Amino acid sequence: MLFSKKGDVDLIEMIMVVIVILIILVLVGVFYFKFQKADIEEKTESLTEQRSDVLLSYITEMPELKCSVKAKEEKCLDTIKIMSFNQMYPKADYDTTFGFKSIKVSVVLPETKPGSCNEMFKKDYSNYSLECSEFVIYSMVKPNYKSKSVISTPVSLYYPDLDKYFIGKLTVETYE
């Protein structure tokens, strides 16, 4: 007695074709989603960079921080306003604008002792001007952040109590 195996082969052929098609679809899908994910990550990075650039210009013009000398607005940051702002800004409003960032100003010239000016301000230390070098405007660190991008720009710092200008560096650190 002879048994025809033609039908078995037919069936196996069909199943193999379907499996191969499925494998190809899965591979195409995997590559496509990887590509799309990379594209979205790139867009996010670009938007984050854009936001940091915008904030850098915005911060130097904020009425909450900008200095006025002889009742005229000037292109500088007022150190007392910076420290006052850091102490009392309404979180809800500025957390929305700034997000997970640290915004600081460090004194470049003349050289001052390293230290946080905000801490001295809180402790009511009167002669902080040459005893500290860093003003924190805003800080909200992202928990478990993977990386941070940093951009900075030079600024003029005005000390109203001394009526003097120092040179500083405004830094925006964005947590990702």
Query: Contact residues for other proteins (CB under 8 A)?
Result: 1-8, 10-11, 14, 18, 21, 25, 36, 40, 43, 47, 50-51, 54-55, 57-58, 61-64, 66, 68-71, 73, 78, 80-81, 84-85, 87-90, 92-94, 96-97, 121, 126, 160-161, 163
HSE, CB side, 13 Å, CA atoms: give it for residue 112.
Answer: 20
Beta bridge partners of 135: 105
| Minimum gap (Å) between residue 96 Cβ and other proteins | 5
Q: Which residues contact 71 (CB under 8 A, 6 or more apart)?
A: none
Taking the least distance from each CB to other proteins, the nearer of 129 and 139 is 129
Q: Give the chain's largest Cα–Cα span.
A: 114
Helix (H) or strand (E) holding 121: helix 117-122
CB 172 within 8 A of CB 101: yes
Q: Kindly state the smallest distance separating residue 174's Cβ from other proteins, in Å.
A: 13
Closest approach, Cβ 148 to other proteins, in A, equals 19
Q: What is the DSSP letter of 143?
A: T
CB of 161 to other proteins, least distance (A): 4
Nearer to other proteins, 3 or 147 (CB): 3
Which is closer to other proteins, CB of 99 or CB of 139?
Answer: 99
Min CB(150)–other proteins separation in Å: 19
User: Phi, psi (5° rounding) for residue 50?
Assistant: -60, -45
Closer of 55 and 107 to other proteins (Cβ): 55
**Of residues 126 and 144, the one with the C-beta less far from other proteins:** 126
Omega before residue 63 within 30° of 0, cis: no
Run of H or E including 13: helix 6-59
